[in-house]
Amino acid sequence: MPFGIVSAWNKRRRSKSQDHSDPWVYKPVEFWQLEDQTPQSTKRRHGSSVFTLKEMEEATCSFNEKNLVGKGGFGRVYRGVLRSGEVVAIKKMELPTFKEAEGEREFRVEVDILSRLEHPNLVSLIGYCADGKHRFLVYEYLQHGNLQDHLNGQFITQNTILIPKSLMAYLVICDCILGFGKAKMEWPLRLKVALGAARGLAYLHSSSDVGIPIVHRDFKSTNILLNANFEAKISDFGLAKLMPEGQEIFVTARVLGTFGYFDPEYTSANDNLPEIDLGFVTKTVHVLSTFCTGKLTLQSDVYAFGVVLLELLTGRRAVDLNQGPSDQNLVLQVRHILNDRKKLRKVIDPELSRSSFTLESIAMFANLASRCIRIESSERPSMAECVKELQTIIYTNSKPMGMGMGMMSFKMA
């Protein structure tokens, strides 16, 4: 059952243009009263601001294409400047008529969850706009985009940066300090991103600030955003689901998430596959057909996290339909060699500088990834355990002697 939008929807709207007969007007009585499920000590007021359509237009210069920073199946994301001078990211939801109800639910869930949660590794929700049938989500602006773009060399192309020109000089400075530039992300920075994302998921799974564990359900590299210091922040909570205390499994009849990150216990083989989200497009996939078995747990996020670890290790996409049939799914391609040190070197991202990683840290990282993507969810580590192991891996990679030994053992063919 959907979450309830409780006190946030009761705020007095600044806009007087709202038509209260509109079927999309928020009606809290229709939604699950989350506060009834939450211990009194964890309740807190929603801190999100409510914006009008006019304010959204002003912030983006009437949605000028020059301010467009991303787009996908949900709509478009613009860089905007609020009247206060704060730079923000504004998600303008644009869905076809037959998906309006689904989009509305995801909009409400995201506002409700992000208004209640606060963690350095979760994207901050500044506010939202629900003016008539217009829906906008206003987030903190994260200068360095999403993880997948960096891993695939799409964030910087021929020295052209896909962020405002005012930030170009700053990125050059970061390149010198963090080893981030024309080449892909170096190993220490990838470990930092992995640890930040792990901390964010561990926070969600540990009951967070709402007193109930939360399953993200759509964790992937495009939903890991990076700020000016390359701190990872998890975004896009439209599919998130509460897991009430004592309920370890949630059963659903719908496949929700992104192909390539599905928990095997959530799906199984079948030739009849509904439309699956591939990130920027929605299409029917027959490469690894799946259907929903309905078993969703916190470990479903752990599996998706393991897939992201593989992306960090290899520099490849979770699913690449431009490859041959046997090479399209990253997990199927590398799972069998993650604990074989002799073969492991074949899948390490060739863009990584040899001096940036150690043999031991690579092996430990691959081992953690292999356990996260195990078929049986009971055999996967918890996100809290992932955090501890990544901290150890970072320490191992930073040892001077280990670096020399590792590089001698990892000479590339």
Active-site option among 112, 149, 218, 236: 218
CATH of 7-140, one of 3.40.50.2300, 3.10.20.30, 3.30.200.20, 3.60.15.10: 3.30.200.20
Q: Is 184 annotated as a binding residue?
A: no
Is residue 271 annotated as part of the catalytic site, yes or no? no
Q: Where in the chain is the domain with CATH 1.10.510.10?
A: 147-409
pLDDT at 29: 27
Q: How confident is the model over 167-192, as pLDDT tens digits?
A: 444 444 444 344 444 446 999 999 99
CA angle 27, 30, 32 (to 5 degrees): 120
- Domain 147-409 carries which CATH code? 1.10.510.10
Q: Please tell me the pTM assigned to this model.
A: 0.75
Q: How confident is the model over 289-321, as pLDDT tens digits?
A: 334 455 678 999 999 999 999 999 999 999 988
Q: What is the mean pLDDT of residues 16-41?
A: 35
Q: How confident is the model over 329-364, as pLDDT tens digits?
A: 999 999 999 999 989 999 999 999 999 999 999 999
* CB distance 242 to 34 below 8 Å: yes
Q: Where in the chain is the domain with CATH 3.30.200.20?
A: 7-140
